Amino acid sequence: MPDPRVVLLPGDGAGPEVAEQARLVLELVAPDVEIEEQLIGAAAIRATGDPLPAETLEACRGASAVLKGPVGDPEFDAADVRPEQGLLRLRAALDAYANLRPAVSGDIDVLIVRELVGGLYFGSSGVRDDGTVFDTCEYHPNQVERVVRRAFVLAQGRRGHLTSVDKANVLETSRMWRRVVNEVAPDFPDVQVEHVLVDNAAMQLAIAAQQFDVIVTENMFGDILSDLAAALTGGLGLAPSASLSDSGPGIFEPVHGSAPDIAGRGIANPAAMLRSTALLLEHGLGRPAEARALERAVDAALAARPTPDLGGTATTGELGAFVREQLALDPAAPAP
Ligand code: NAD
Ligand code: IPM
Ligand code: MN
């Protein structure tokens, strides 16, 4: 077997700053893994005119896993070719449909499973002759079933509770979503299922998130609820994600964006990117021991060297350096 290869996409804004820390940590805990850097987003538009150049996509397709920083740059917000299009194309091309967004802190331990390659993000859109602008939310039942089954399996491995979030009181797609969940449920008798409307789900998350175990929901609801869940556990600087397909490489990236307001100052919190690296070690490379060691090191670093978003003064590099020191001390981590 050839050595595993990780494609690192540093992205835009604060992306390269946090991606550098991820690279240094990955080199330490998985020295046999080849790391190949490629462009995506605004950086790729500037270099090639395309937010997902063919070379990047080719490299990602052939990789063991993709480790991605955030994309996005205010300069392109109103452009026809935008950084975010590269990300959406990558997710679709790799069929990374199951987006796992864990939020853990104190008595809160929620796993949001967000459908990632359907819904409003990928339905037909455009402008009608009369000037009306439209986006459409479209789902095929098979797209719903596969992500729902994943969520059931994940709930089985946790506390056995699954909350399906929808807007079935208004949307056709949500009524179909709810039907599919109910059809799949008998295959998982050990999982307790409930349906919650998305507006109430947001409120329940805000006031009593500890009631949730696994939440499964469609693409846009999951986007919004996962930022809320991140806020409950200390902010966007902490929240990782894993986007998995049924075969082929997963994409591992922070929930946060390119943070243009703090980019270039060396103060972005690298924890979300490093926790995404831990998810990559676990789900992308099958190395749970290294993943746990990295998670422990990140927890220790957040306590000892908090960055400004957490009320501290540590720089991106200082937090990253502390993580690597912890890893070097951890007997369970592989020797550097
Ligand atoms: P954002 O997540 O970039 O920033 C929101 C707030 O959180 C800002 O105040 C920012 O400083 C803070 N923040 C984010 N990450 C942080 C970190 N690591 N450490 C400390 N503070 C952090 O969201 P936004 O401002 O709405 O979006 C900016 C750009 O990012 C947009 O172009 C958007 O499209 C893009 N974006 C990309 C991704 C992605 O690539 N997966 C995700 C979200 C947003
Ligand atoms: C995220 C981001 C992306 C999304 C954007 C940048 C396309 O907000 O990963 O949460 O909406 O999926
Ligand atoms: Mn988002």
Note if 199 is an active site residue.
yes
Going from the Cα of 71 to the center of ligand 1, the distance in angstroms, rounded, reads 9
Question: What is the pLDDT, as a whole number, of residue 112?
Answer: 98
Question: What is the pLDDT, as a whole number, of residue 330?
Answer: 83
- 263 within ligand 2 shell (Cβ under 6 A): no
Q: What amino acid occupies position 84?
A: E
Please say whether the beta carbons of 158 and 111 come within 8 A.
yes
Question: What is the pLDDT, as a whole number, of residue 1?
Answer: 65
Going from the Cα of 189 to the center of ligand 1, the distance in angstroms, rounded, reads 39
Going from the Cα of 16 to the center of ligand 2, the distance in angstroms, rounded, reads 17
Note if 130 is an active site residue.
no
Among 121, 139, 213, 309, the active-site one is 121
DSSP string, 7-43: EEE--STTHHHHHHHHHHHHHHH-TTSEEEE---HHH
Nearest to 270 by CA among 309, 232, 328: 309
Q: Are strands 214-217 and 108-115 parallel, antiparallel or unpaired?
A: parallel
Which ligand places an atom closest to the C-alpha of 76?
1
Nearest to 203 by CA among 226, 178, 168, 228: 228
Q: Mean pLDDT, consecutive 10-residue segments, the chain of 336 residues?
A: 91 98 98 98 98 98 98 97 98 98 97 98 97 98 98 98 98 98 98 98 98 98 98 97 97 98 98 98 97 98 98 98 95 60
Question: What is the pLDDT, as a whole number, of residue 2?
Answer: 72
23: exposed, middle or buried (Cβ count in 10 Å: 0-12, 13-18, 19+):
buried
- 223 within ligand 1 shell (Cβ under 6 A): no
